[in-house]
Amino acid sequence: MAGALTHIKASGEAHMVDVGAKDETKRIAVAEGVVVMKPETLTMILEGNAKKGDVLATARIAGIMAAKKTHELIPLCHPLMLNKVAVEIEPDEALPGLRVTATVSVAGRTGVEMEALTAASVACLTIYDMAKAVDRGMTITGIRVLEKSGGKSGDWRVAGR
């Protein structure tokens, strides 16, 4: 049935989906998140003056590490041998804040949307953690999948991308 929840049996109990019969294909997912902050907080981060250290480098590493541990954090996710995790963090003066984009790829039997979402989310959380002493009012928003490719369902992109 189209639109059925794949992790829920007819009886209502949750289970891990068997992907063993699926073809191995190259799969890529891109997700984003945004941390909105005061202009002076953004300046502090970009100038490298945060007391806890290099916010951008630490957030990148945290996002990469998180993607690799997604199966330990999200129930019913499959452990995957990821080929690549890239976390890009760009300043956006219009917010003001930082836009985080995570790209994850694998050659496998299941998609990597959850890994990309986890990477983006944890990178945003790390930014918040490292700058909260000077700006507790920061907000994390816009966590979403931007695009995915591979697998039986094919390619998908958020409108306008």
Please, is 11 exposed, middle or buried when counting C-beta atoms within 10 Å of its C-beta (0-12, 13-18, 19+)? exposed
Residue of 18, 23, 92, 129 with catalytic role: 129
Place of tokens 């794949």: 6
Whether the Cβ atoms of residue 108 and residue 71 lie closer than 8 Å to each other: no
Phi, psi (5° rounding) for residue 147? -165, 160
Element housing 99 (H / E): strand 97-108
Per the annotation, the verdict on 23 as an active-site residue is no
- Give the active site residues: 129
